[in-house]
Structure 1
Amino acid sequence: MKTVLVFKTSVAQKKDVSTLRPLLDGLINTSGRWNFDLEDCDNILRVETWRIAPHTVVSALTGHGFRCEEL
């Protein structure tokens, strides 16, 4: 079953999303999708996936200098 993971992040600009695109595309691969809602006050990242654990996404973003917390 596909899971939807939701994260509060510090990703606030489109250029940040562009920077993270290769990283997230590599993590998610063809097994799902991801998107940021930069209009939301929490800069929400939604990830639809079959196989990614939440801590993997958190570690990837924090490793690139962004705050990321699962909601």
Structure 2
Amino acid sequence: MVEIFKTNIENKKQAERILASLSATFPDLKVNVDLEDCDKILRVEGEAIVPDKVIDFVSVTGHHCEMLPE
């Protein structure tokens, strides 16, 4: 399963911090951020993704995160 989220993560340092925290909190998920994309895409792969938990987690870091429609 793969879920794609639009974020406002602006730079590599922010992305690294958020990805490290996401990986620690959700160790079964594979995560990455595409800062080159205009939507600053957060891509999450795994067996049991709960989109609301990912959105809430990123929001707590002070960043916007929303699921993109398929």
Gaps of at least 5 residues in structure 2 are: none
Gaps of at least 5 residues in structure 1 are: none
What is the percentage of aligned positions where both structures have the same residue?
A: 38
Q: Which moved more, 1:3-12 or 1:15-24?
A: 15-24
| Superposition TM-score, scaled by structure 2 size | 0.88
CA displacement at 1:66 relative to structure 2: 0.1
Mapped partners of 1:45, 1:15: distance in 2: 14
Mapped partners of 1:43, 1:11: distance in 2: 6
User: What CA RMSD, in Å, does the superposition of the two structures yield over aligned residues?
Assistant: 1.1
| Superposition TM-score, scaled by structure 1 size | 0.87
CA displacement at 1:19 relative to structure 2: 1.6
Spell out structure 1 runs of 4+ moving beyond 6 A. Answer: none
Q: Which moved more, 1:15-24 or 1:37-46?
A: 15-24
